[in-house]
Structure 1
Amino acid sequence: MGTESQHSALDEVLGFVSLVKIDSRANGLPVSNYDLHRIIYSLFDSFEEKNMFSSVCNSAPQKMGRILFSENTTTEDCQNRSVILLSPEKPMPQKNFSGTIQTKELRRSFLGYDKYNFSLLVNPTKCESLTKKRKAISGEENVKNWFIKKSDDFGISVKKENLEVRSMPSQKIEKPNETIIHYHRVKILGTLAVSDRGSFVRTVLQGIGRGRSFGLGLMQVIPYKN
């Protein structure tokens, strides 16, 4: 009975991972960053935030599931905008959606390994003590130090020599008739070891940092192989 329960827990579906390709030329206009956000969220018209963590780890406080995505577009596929999407519910395209969606389940067992390779597009910031405003963190060493300092909260252990930081173009979000938002972006790649399973699962499902509604903060992980 105990063994069956353990197998059942490992088979638990924690969310859905999708590869979404959007035809950028379907309407004769390029897809802006805000359009991309709007299209992704339109796949969840019936989406209601649900408690995703009541069974993820026994001692974890209740948290809400959220939609996370990261653009995966390549220069070879410039006609489409390609997105890796993690969501608590399966995406359901509307009639006017122009593109393709491939979805598979994310099971607890996939997040049960001890070591992973990871990739993270993130907006690292710090709070200025005097102004209390958020300030972007830039520079390879500064970003590495920020990530290492935060790693305990993420339920992971990382070594500086195993991290790579790539500066990315800033992201402009231009919502009609509203203030333009700019997000400073860096990509962090490397190897991590899981130090706290519950916090690690929460990090993967909840994302990291600001701008998570606009394609930032999704930690993509692959089990580490020598």
Structure 2
Amino acid sequence: MTLYVSALHLDAHACRQLRITDGYSLHRVVYSLYDDVRSEQQKQGSVPSGIQWADKGGDSRGRKILMMADRPPHEPQAGCLETRLLSDSFLSHSCYRFSVCLNPTRRHAQTGKQSAITGRAAILSWFCQRAEGWGFNVDPRQVQVESINILKMHMSPERIITLQQATVSGRLTVSHTENFRKSFMQGIGRARAFGCGLLQIVPQLEYQFFDE
């Protein structure tokens, strides 16, 4: 599968022009850049959109948004867009440095409802337990929860969604190639439409894990 990696740079003027005020407005801007190639049946069946993104933040001067999709984006109404194709060999390595913004939750066995996992230690434990299912192993000593934020999104004047985001970073070792490729291409965890789940990875030589 061909993957397109993009960076959208928005200065303060572009943020005002695109009416970026919260996480939902960022979602709106990102999804407006891509054609929705799914059928109505696929949408109802929760088929992935093929779009991932992560807000890298910024300051009063602007912000940067990373995006990855199985199709190229359109030119934005405002801001500067850079796009490149991901090389075929990028996922052929066994070790990577990574960073990922996640929405850590746990499903209640009786009610089936999702509840947020709170606290750095609990989030780290949850991540390490889930890693194998995503196709990689992590050493808890080489992983850290960098930040925990609460994101409020105004879906409508009457509807506000509150979402917890935790940024986790460290090093990983691929344990199951196909599962890892799927995790990278589709994202991991929940709330992927709202900027969670994009595995931002950089290949690492294996010996670097033991030379430090």
User: Alignment partner for residue 8 of structure 2, among 20, 23, 45?
Assistant: 20
- The whole-number CA distance in structure 2 between the counterparts of 1:223 and 1:28 is 37
- The unaligned stretches of length 5 or more in structure 1 are 1-12, 51-62
Aligned AA (2:57): T
Mapping of residues 115-134 of structure 1, within 5 Å:
115-134=95-114
What is the match of residue 43 of structure 2? none
Q: How does 1:141-152 map to 2 (within 5 A)?
A: 141-152=121-132
Q: TM-score, normalised by structure 2?
A: 0.85
Residue correspondences, number: 197
Give identity over the alignment, percent: 30
Deviation at 1:28, TM superposition (A): 5.9
Contact 2:105–2:115 (8 Å) recurs in 1: yes
1:40 aligns with 2:24: no
Is 1:200 matched with 2:180?
yes
CA distance in 1, matches of 2:79, 2:161: 27
Structure 2 distance, partners of 1:22, 1:74, is 9
In structure 2, relative to structure 1, the CA distance for the partners of 1:100 and 1:30 (3 Å cut) is same
Tell me if the contact between 2:134 and 2:179 (Cα under 8 Å) persists in the aligned partners.
Answer: yes
Between the aligned partners of 1:66 and 1:23, the Cα distance in structure 2 is 27
Which stretches of structure 1, 4 residues or more, deviate above 6 A after TM superposition? none
> Are 1:212 and 2:158 an aligned pair?
no
RMSD over aligned Cα atoms:
2.0
Query: What stretches of structure 2 of length at least 5 have no aligned partner?
Result: 40-46
Shift of 1:178: 4.5
Q: Distance in 2 between matches of 1:19 and 1:87?
A: 12
